[in-house]
Structure 1
């Protein structure tokens, strides 16, 4: 169940793929910004939601920013998640109404291709055909992760969460698991099908996409990551997807950070969210800058 919950957080990154190559080899993580207001400091760390043991420790500046912090702010705190409650909510949102299946919505060729992918992963279509497209897309992502050298269990987010628990730092969620689940399950049926069909068609490229995304992150290639979705802008429903997955969420997270800066508590905060939220406009960084603050790109 934990793997499925973690997979929920990485769909946006692989969905739009990566078409460029990071040109600078750095290999110790990137995407760190800093904003201050009087005695209050907020570090903004863009993360990647997968990883492996070789990722750690991260760059010294990132590690120091975490060490300095009094409070950490992840997207969600998976360590405090009620798994049974969350699983129940997910299943309620993931299942078709009785009598309807994926076979009713997918074209015959796409359905056959999905059957082949499932067969390769020792799963029969009869086990999953009651699941809606958004959930099936997530399942395909999980298959790809299992074929890769990465795991959500070594996600940079999880690394900081576990350390924060060990160090007894205060943890404040910027969102909730329910928030993220409602976004993913709330897209129109047409868009859900389009995204699933795209995932089926490009299933064999998912592992390669993960390799490129991790290279961007490890090398701090902000421009490449920001540009990674440009080739997908012609996809019908792209604007709907990005508005919900990126724009609206960034506005909400930025508002919380701005409130912290306004409070001027004198504490140091360490925000860590998916790197796309820091580079895809309107990004958290750009929204804070628009409010009049100077945001320094540290690393």
Structure 2
């Protein structure tokens, strides 16, 4: 399993949505005035037999009867547009009226989902509404630390940038700390990953501009292996020709994790970004899209091909290693987190670029918040791999005289 850790550690150290696809997608035709979107319930796409989820003036509407069915609720009646449903033997009157489109009754998804006991999240990158049941087992421990300096408090959260519904609900300590926060700090605001500026950066840095293609920059054996995997997945063998090895590597790794049920839309950082928007508190970016993409683009050609080859050689095992990381996160196992983090150090160039250099800059920003002298609370969410070890954020803060306490 250790061989595949380095290929999935991006979920612990980098913002997983930053490599949103640069290839445009086209929605199927929808009724006039509407745009279609996708609904996932606990990670599974809802395939509506009658009607589709629609967006009208920023509000997502879903077919009433079929949505209630997948949420485990029942329709009691609809009178004059008012909807009453039954959830766990309780009758609830929904706070929004039903709307008939093409003979099908629609209702705002947030209204019906929250009444049925689901959290509602939005994945802007894939235009997907994510519904996650609150009726789960014991809350995951995760990684949460606290640092104080005078009247200022900083909470440090170690994130997995991709997750599934089993990560939620988070334990009360996370929610209570966030409820008091005046600011949310993240690596980058991945809710903006599908923006035109960010997509253009991927094209500018991640594609060849000199007339060459991927085939000219990797070995014949590596190129052949890429083609075989693409064909097995229903794509043309040359589908990635325009992209550099680091884009191909991260894309293939993300595909494997996605097939295993992990989604950037359920990532811990995006979860809190969405809550920050709801609370209307500032979201502070500790890095930039440009700096993260430049880190990848600045890797030597040799390292890019090594990383790509490692993904190709372990392609069928990436889902298993992601599962192991998810288990590590949910159990809050510091020893295993440190072991995974240290595995990157076996490649000095990769370790320096992915963690060491970035940790110094992030720790300095956190120290700046601590030195503000203001009675403010910061809730910082960055990849879990950044915190532990001799070059980790916790050690860097301790070296500056701060006491970091696990919560």
Match of 1:174 among 286, 290, 293: 286
User: Matched residue of 1:296: which SS?
Assistant: strand
CA–CA distance in structure 2, aligned partners of residues 78 and 182 of structure 1: 16
Q: Deviation digits for residues 111-165 of structure 1, max 9, x if unmatched?
A: 2221111112221122211211001101101220231121111001110000010
Match of 1:51 among 163, 174, 194: 163
Q: Name the counterpart of 1:93.
A: 205
Deviation at 1:98, TM superposition (A): 3.5
Q: Which consecutive residues of structure 1, in runs of 5 or more, have no partner in the other structure?
A: 1-6, 14-24
Deviation at 1:233, TM superposition (A): 4.9
Q: Name the counterpart of 1:17.
A: none
Q: Does 1:203 align with 2:204?
A: no
Q: Name the counterpart of 1:134.
A: 246
Q: Is the 8 A contact 1:69 1:270 kept in 2?
A: yes
Q: Name the counterpart of 2:11.
A: 10
- Name the structure where strand makes up a greater proportion of residues: 2
CA–CA distance in structure 2, aligned partners of residues 9 and 166 of structure 1: 27
TM-score by structure 1 length? 0.87
TM-score by structure 2 length? 0.65
Q: Does 1:273 align with 2:382?
A: yes
User: Matched residue of 1:172: which SS?
Assistant: strand
Deviation at 1:8, TM superposition (A): 11
Which structure: larger Rg? 2
Q: Name the counterpart of 1:20.
A: none
Match of 2:369 among 260, 273, 277: 260
Q: Does 1:106 align with 2:218?
A: yes
CA–CA distance in structure 1, aligned partners of residues 371 and 181 of structure 2: 18
Q: Is the 8 A contact 2:193 2:199 kept in 1?
A: no
Q: Is the 8 A contact 1:28 1:59 kept in 2?
A: yes
Deviation at 1:188, TM superposition (A): 0.9
CA–CA distance in structure 1, aligned partners of residues 343 and 378 of structure 2: 35
**Superposition RMSD in Å:** 2.1
Q: Does 1:240 align with 2:349?
A: yes
Q: Is the 8 A contact 1:102 1:131 kept in 2?
A: yes
CA–CA distance in structure 1, aligned partners of residues 358 and 322 of structure 2: 23
Deviation at 1:11, TM superposition (A): 7.8
Name which structure has the greater RCO, CA cutoff 8 Å, separation 6+. Answer: 1
Q: Does 1:185 align with 2:297?
A: yes
- Name the structure where helix makes up a greater proportion of residues: 1
Deviation at 1:215, TM superposition (A): 0.5
CA–CA distance in structure 2, aligned partners of residues 51 and 231 of structure 1: 21
Q: Relative to structure 1, is the Cα distance of residues 155 and 232 closer, same or farther in structure 2, using a 3 angstrom cutoff?
A: closer
Q: Relative to structure 1, is the Cα distance of residues 134 and 8 closer, same or farther in structure 2, using a 3 angstrom cutoff?
A: farther
Q: Is the 8 A contact 2:13 2:382 kept in 1?
A: no
Q: Deviation digits for residues 221-268 of structure 1, max 9, x if unmatched?
A: 11111112555655xxx1111111101111101101111111111101
1:57-96 equivalences under 5 Å are 57-80=169-192, 83-96=195-208
Q: Relative to structure 1, is the Cα distance of residues 243 and 51 closer, same or farther in structure 2, using a 3 angstrom cutoff?
A: same
After alignment, is 77-86 or 263-272 more displaced?
A: 77-86
Q: Is the 8 A contact 2:141 2:171 kept in 1?
A: yes
Q: Does 1:39 align with 2:39?
A: no
Q: Is the 8 A contact 1:11 1:138 kept in 2?
A: no
After alignment, is 258-267 or 105-114 more displaced?
A: 105-114
